[in-house]
Structure 1
Amino acid sequence: MRDDTRSGTQVVARVSAVLRAVSARAPHPVPTRDVADDTGLTRPTAYRLLSALADEGFLDRDGAAWVLGPELFLLGAVAADRYDITDLALEHVRELARLTGESAFFSARRGDETVCLLREEGSFPIRSFVLHEGIRFPLGVASAGLAMLAFVPDDERAAYLDAVDLSAQWGPQHAREPLEARLAQTRSTGWALNPGLIVEGSWGMGAAVFDERGAPAWALSLTGIESRFKPERQRELGRALLQHAHALSQQVHSRS
């Protein structure tokens, strides 16, 4: 690869990382130091990129911090017709929250990550606040990421697992062997279970939603406290998730 091509690719990667760092904490303003910490960039480099993005309208300054800018809204509106199914997902998220009393979510796959797009609170008064709109996790982390990774083609899943070490950040239960066991269990039941692996006592379940090509592009999920996710209730919650995930997949196929 030529040096100028390599340099250009590096700049694009850094800009993408900066935008993701700001969007992950939206709508709250994000200080430069937090962007630097989240991306691994030095503060001067992070500030230069943030300033350049603000000059182009992709970010706005909010005092000494940064928020998403109007140009991203315009680009997102153009892309929404192809990629956004939140209008279809909203009814399922709301119904899952109503039926189960748990917090319900809709997440989308973006490359090797999942991003939460919708959240609806259930009626149960004790809630888990691990997930919120905009938060990102690597595939294989959290129930939505487990559900999607479980149903990608075998060679794609193997290549991803060869390239990452999730245990370095997320703990030994995200090492390859226990992760592959959870993925196999997900393929067997159809739904994924996260037994408090991100925050102790906060459990989650998820089911993949498939695009018109049969790829797991989204997921519906539920989170709550451990006592609400006993084995007998997991089957009940799993059936509800699969029912709504299948119905949403069918709506996506019909709209394509």
Structure 2
Amino acid sequence: MQASHQVVARIGRVLRAVSQHEPDGVTTTAAGVAADLARPTAHRLLVALQQEGLVDRTPAGLWQLGPETFLLGSAAAARYDVSHLAGASLRRLSEATGESAFFSARRGDETICLVREDGSFPIRSHVLHEGIRFPLGVASAGQVILSYLPEREITDYLDDHDLTERYGATHARKAVEQRIAETQRQGYAFNPGLIVRGSWGIGAAVFDSDESPQWALSLTGIDHRFADDRRPELGRLLLQEAHDLSRRIRRFRSQ
């Protein structure tokens, strides 16, 4: 039974690795690295997934998600997809601020960016895009979702995850805990270029009917657009839209 669980976990990691490189595609080697698998193992799994229509391979040898993933996603969308409800909030945020606005969802110990709405300001941050994933505690969306989980879950997560392995000393446990405290104090998360220098962002949690933070709205842009004198107003707008979206999602799911 344990071996079967390991195979399923590996398949899940490979599929997520492929999804992170849509629509361009990913090499077998890169997919293996992202999934923490040896290249031969990643290749065997990808070939098996190709036979099931879950991945495709381009003439250049790059792996992409296959048609079956679209069909599966379409079937699940009625229960899980609320991204269409976020569109109005993203448009209002991008129009009011000029910055790029994003809607992300929690998926286990990660966040995945689902929707992007670019603002009018001509210089943009390209750290976030549809499909990109980050661990909880990384980027403003992951930081704000982690910050509003129950205290026991926060502790367990930080016990199990060393974010410094990929994101460096700025994501050491003490630094993450300090940002959690600051997020809880001001209501929104702030990322002062912690992933890419000069690319700043703020995020606000969106809650389900159980008051659990399952999504996030965020704004990103270059550093001077998120300076101290402007950030409180950006945070106010973001929290307002996050509160409104939480209510709309609850109404939608109660129908």
Structure 1 residue 40 displacement after superposition: 2.2
Aligned residue in 1 for 2:205: 208
Counterpart-to-counterpart distance in 2, 1:22 and 1:118: 18
Aligned residue in 1 for 2:94: 97
Structure 1 residue 144 displacement after superposition: 0.2
Letter in 1 for 2:30: D
Structure 1 runs (4+) deviating above 4 angstroms are none
Letter in 2 for 1:55: Q
For the pair 1:28 / 2:24, whether they are aligned, the reply is yes
Equivalent residue for 2:120, pick from 112, 123, 140: 123
Letter in 1 for 2:93: L
Structure 1 residue 173 displacement after superposition: 1.4
Aligned residue in 2 for 1:78: 75
Over residues 216-255 of structure 1, what are the superposed CA-to-partner deviations in whole Å (9 max), with x where a residue is unaligned? Answer: 0000000011111111211000001000000000001111
For the pair 1:68 / 2:68, whether they are aligned, the reply is no
For the pair 1:237 / 2:237, whether they are aligned, the reply is no
Structure 1 residue 178 displacement after superposition: 1.1
Percent identity over the alignment is 58
Equivalent residue for 2:109, pick from 107, 112, 129: 112
TM normalised by structure 1 equals 0.97
- For structure 1, which runs of at least 5 residues remain unmatched after alignment? none
Letter in 2 for 1:87: H
Structure 1 residue 105 displacement after superposition: 0.5
Letter in 1 for 2:102: F
Aligned residue in 2 for 1:222: 219
Letter in 1 for 2:214: A
The 3-state SS of whatever aligns with 2:230 is: helix
Letter in 2 for 1:41: L
Which residues in structure 2 correspond to 1:238-253 (within 5 Å)?
Answer: 238-253=235-250
The 3-state SS of whatever aligns with 1:198 is: coil
Counterpart-to-counterpart distance in 2, 1:65 and 1:202: 29
Structure 1 residue 124 displacement after superposition: 0.7
- For structure 2, which runs of at least 5 residues remain unmatched after alignment? none
For the pair 1:154 / 2:151, whether they are aligned, the reply is yes
Equivalent residue for 2:11, pick from 1, 12, 15: 15
The 3-state SS of whatever aligns with 1:200 is: coil
Letter in 2 for 1:24: Q
Letter in 2 for 1:189: Q
Over residues 91-142 of structure 1, what are the superposed CA-to-partner deviations in whole Å (9 max), with x where a residue is unaligned? Answer: 1112111110111100000000000001111111111100110000000000
The 3-state SS of whatever aligns with 2:5 is: helix
Root-mean-square deviation (Å): 0.8
Counterpart-to-counterpart distance in 1, 2:175 and 2:32: 32
Structure 1 residue 32 displacement after superposition: 0.9
Structure 1 residue 76 displacement after superposition: 0.9
Over residues 163-201 of structure 1, what are the superposed CA-to-partner deviations in whole Å (9 max), with x where a residue is unaligned? Answer: 111112111111111111101111111100001000011
Counterpart-to-counterpart distance in 1, 2:9 and 2:58: 24
Aligned residue in 2 for 1:45: 41
Counterpart-to-counterpart distance in 1, 2:91 and 2:17: 28
TM normalised by structure 2 equals 0.97
